[in-house]
């Protein structure tokens, strides 16, 4: 038995529903009039002339628009002019713009040189005004004074003077002229131990200090009285050492190498080898002895003294050139004799022994023999004494042939020899002065 199916299903059509068709208009409704397209038959030349007329407005309208815009621009330019030109610009403002046209503007734009001239005039007027301000408002002296006032005071190693303004438990504040006072720690207030700062540094006391550290962010510098005193002490010791003077020191300590002492606030050391009694050097503590300088070095803070050199220096102070002295032959060397002169030794060079010809030094003097000689060279700093016996001779070589007579008459002959030495000294000084005279 067969069942009849719908026609669409049997034909395999789409399951989606079809679009609804619009209803047809009624046959009796009125129809719209037909639209007709109008074709322009104008030529290309007419179209071009039409477009150009739309773009370029008539000459009369140009002038109206120009009169509306230009005065604003001109007002702005008047602000850029120099002050002295403002009055003239205001006076000619209305008359100038009534005659300006677009053609004049275009001609002005085509002339850039004119704008440059105007800008240069503006710049010159501004520079003139600036120079006038500098002349009346700027003072070079005041500027330099301000620089000096703000210059930092107190560089390291500089000596400064000031007055005490405050005392604290850890130090003293001193006004040295900077924007902040200088601070001096308690251990830098002087040599030795200071127990009472208020007694040592009352307010208002004028002090001289040494700057040991430059100013910090607050402008404060670190100062020291102790460092300044030490510097002065080293300078004094150096001058005494150059002169070869003998000083008196007190022994305040000892160690295996020697003894220690103080001089002008400086700590000195005397080696055992430079002591007269080096074996019992500890017994010298609390005693005063004479000493001379062996080494003075401020950079290394080294001060070395000698008791033996002091004895030599004191002996040198008793000697002078031309003096007749008696001593003993200590040793014979190829270049001469070493003579003991009671604590110091002198050198009798082989060229100073005799004016004659000798085959050997032992032909004239022997070791341990006592002789008399003249001092012809004296150098305390180097500890040297030069001797001469040839000046005591009459005829050349008399010391070889008749040494006893020469030594016996040494004092009388020394007077003549001393006179000749003085004459030679005077003549050499005169020659030196002639050489040094300006030409």
Q: What would the pLDDT profile of 22-37 be if each residue is shown by its tens digit?
A: 555 555 555 655 555 5
**Does the pTM of the predicted model rise above 0.95?**
no
CB 251 within 8 A of CB 261: yes
Is it the case that residue 129 has pLDDT exceeding 60? no
Q: How is residue 249 annotated by DSSP?
A: E
User: What are the pLDDT digits (tens) for 357-403?
Assistant: 888 899 899 999 999 999 989 887 777 899 999 999 989 989 998 99
Q: Of all residues in the chain, what percent carry a pLDDT higher than 90?
A: 33
CATH number of the domain located at residue range(s) 318-433 in this protein? 2.40.50.140
Angle between helices 102-109 and 59-80 (to 10 degrees): 50
Q: Is 77 a residue whose pLDDT tops 60? A: no
Q: Do 253-313 and 318-433 agree at the fold level?
A: yes
CATH 2.40.50 fits 253-313, yes or no: yes
- Domain 149-229: assigned CATH number: 2.40.50.140
Question: Hunting for tokens 């002198």 — which residue is that?
Answer: 346
Q: Where are the domains of the chain?
A: 77-135, 149-229, 253-313, 318-433
CA angle 236/298/221 to nearest 5° reads 95
Confidence band, pLDDT 50/70/90 cuts, at residue 158: confident
- Between CA 41 and CA 51, with CA 47 as vertex, the angle to 5 degrees is 150
What is the Cα–Cα distance from 342 to 232, expressed in whole angstroms? 37
The C-alpha atoms of residue 424 and residue 351 are separated, in whole angstroms, by 18
Closest CA to 275 of 310, 301, 314, 243: 310
Tell whether the model's pLDDT for residue 307 goes beyond 90. Answer: yes
Q: Phi/psi zone of residue 421: left (φ > 0), alpha (ψ -120 to 50 degrees), beta?
A: alpha
pLDDT above 50: residue 20: yes
What is the maximum alpha-carbon separation in the chain? Answer: 192
């Amino acid at each position: 038995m067969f069942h009849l199916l719908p026609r669409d299903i049997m034909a395999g059509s789409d399951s989606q529903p079809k679009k609804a068709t619009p209803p047809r208009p009624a046959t009796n409704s009125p129809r719209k009039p037909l639209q007709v397209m109008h074709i322009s038959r104008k030529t290309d030349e007419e179209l071009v002339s039409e477009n150009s007329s739309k773009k370029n407005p008539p000459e009369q309208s140009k002038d109206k628009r120009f009169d509306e815009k230009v005065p604003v621009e001109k007002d702005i330019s008047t602000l850029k002019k120099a002050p002295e030109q403002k009055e003239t610009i205001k006076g000619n403002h209305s008359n100038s713009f009534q005659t300006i046209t677009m053609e004049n503007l275009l001609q002005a734009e085509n002339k850039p040189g004119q704008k440059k001239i105007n800008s240069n005039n503006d710049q010159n007027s501004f520079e003139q005004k600036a120079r006038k301000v500098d002349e009346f408002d700027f003072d070079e002296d005041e500027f330099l004074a301000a620089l000096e006032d703000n210059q930092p005071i107190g560089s390291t190693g500089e000596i400064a003077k000031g007055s005490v303004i405050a005392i604290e438990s850890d130090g003293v504040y001193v006004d040295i002229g900077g924007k902040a006072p200088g601070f001096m720690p308690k251990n830098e207030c002087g040599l030795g131990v200071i127990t009472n700062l208020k007694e040592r540094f009352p307010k208002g006391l004028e002090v001289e200090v040494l700057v040991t550290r430059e100013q910090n962010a607050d402008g404060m510098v670190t100062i020291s009285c102790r460092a300044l005193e030490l510097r002065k002490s080293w300078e004094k010791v150096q001058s005494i050492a150059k002169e070869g003077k003998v000083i008196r020191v007190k022994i305040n300590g000892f160690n295996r190498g020697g003894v220690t002492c103080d001089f002008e606030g400086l700590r000195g050391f005397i080696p055992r080898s430079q002591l007269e009694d080096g074996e019992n050097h500890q017994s010298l503590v609390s005693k005063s002895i004479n000493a001379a300088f062996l080494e003075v070095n401020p950079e290394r803070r080294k001060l070395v003294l000698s008791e033996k050199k002091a004895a030599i220096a004191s002996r040198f102070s008793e000697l002078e050139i031309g003096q007749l002295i008696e001593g003993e032959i200590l040793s014979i060397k190829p270049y001469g004799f070493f003579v003991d002169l009671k604590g110091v030794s002198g050198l009798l060079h082989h060229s100073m022994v005799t004016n004659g010809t000798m085959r050997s030094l032992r032909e004239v003097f022997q070791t341990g023999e006592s002789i008399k000689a003249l001092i012809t060279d004296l150098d305390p700093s180097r500890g040297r004494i030069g001797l001469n016996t040839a000046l005591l001779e009459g005829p050349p070589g008399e010391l070889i042939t008749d040494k006893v007579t020469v030594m016996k008459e040494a004092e009388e002959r020394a007077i003549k020899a001393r006179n000749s030495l003085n004459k030679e000294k005077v003549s050499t000084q005169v020659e030196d002065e002639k050489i040094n005279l300006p030409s």
